Amino acid sequence: MALTGDYKLISTEDMLQGHAELCIHAYGFVKSMALKCAIELGIPGAIHGNGGGASLGELATIIALPLSRLPRLRRLMRVLTVSGVFSVEHQQPDDSVGDGMTDDSRFVVEVILREGRARDVFSGVRSMVDVGGGTGTIAKAIAAAFPHVECSVLDLPHVVAEAPADGEVRFIAGDMFDHIPPADAVLLKSVMHDWRDDECVKILRRCKEAIPSREAGGKVIIINMVVGSEKSKGNSTKKEEAQALYDLFLMAFEGGEREEHEWEKIFLEAGFSGYNIIPALGIRSIIEVYP
């Protein structure tokens, strides 16, 4: 199904709201899975027996869940709270209860072109390498929108072998864990949620080796969710629900979305000096990370 020219008449806010609604429907089955899991763990009875409320730690103790599983319990309860099954009081950051890829890349670039804050991310960038960029959909769109940016794509050899030889962007076969080609900026779109923290630190260290200093304009550009962010208020309920559903879906593949303090932790471990979150993409954000 193709978009018609009429979509350009839709406001950015409405478009992002629609995207969040679409994600909620697409991953709606996760709600029933989460509820089934909560019942099997005895979570409703545990909360009721504890006076109608419990912190995440208390809940884990009552249902005899190993502490190593606490992060997963947090993610389960996040879905159940944003879905309205449970409610949250006095939420704390560390104890909160509470060919689609191609089309998605086009959607992201469309929003970036509309949003001044997002467009500014590419100001002063002369070269960029899109890590895990597949057949170059987003790199080509960025190159077309920002002619001053020389764009390359790094991906595995079998992926690059299928890339079109049209000369719009340069394709490089390689492994992001081994080496990332030098550029002013490294783009990681929907990459980091596939990997554990220690693996993300390794990826970010390779990125840091590839870019110049902050003073010379070097940075890593991450497009991913920042779960539970309070920086964008507008349609927070729908965005938080979509984020929570997708996060729990990723748990089946050992992946996951991160809260801001979790992002900060891996940035610091990888040796970066600072970051800036731009909540301009609906359920996702742009994160600029500086060496």
Say if strands 170-173 and 284-290 run parallel, antiparallel, or are unpaired. unpaired
Give the chain's length: 291
Tell me what percent of the chain is helix, strand and coil, each rounded to the nearest 5. Answer: 50, 15, 35
Name which of 100, 73, 132, 118 is nearest 251 in CA terms. Answer: 73
How far is it, in rounded angstroms, from Cα 188 to Cα 192? 7
Q: Which residues pair with 189 in a beta bridge?
A: 223
**What is the 8-class DSSP label of residue 4?**
P
CB half-sphere exposure, 134, CA atoms < 13 A: 14
> Measured over all CA atoms, what is the biggest interatomic distance in the chain, rounded to whole angstroms?
65
Concerning whether 179 is annotated as a catalytic residue, the answer is: no
The active-site residue out of 48, 148, 193, 261 is 193
Q: Which residues pair with 92 in a beta bridge?
A: 95
**What is the 8-class DSSP label of residue 111?**
H
**What is the 8-class DSSP label of residue 159?**
H
**Lookup: tokens for 48:** 């009721």
H-run or E-run covering 153: strand 150-155
The alpha helices in the chain, defined as continuous H runs, are 12-26, 29-41, 43-49, 56-62, 70-82, 100-114, 116-119, 137-145, 157-160, 197-210, 236-251, 260-269
Active site (catalytic) residues: 193
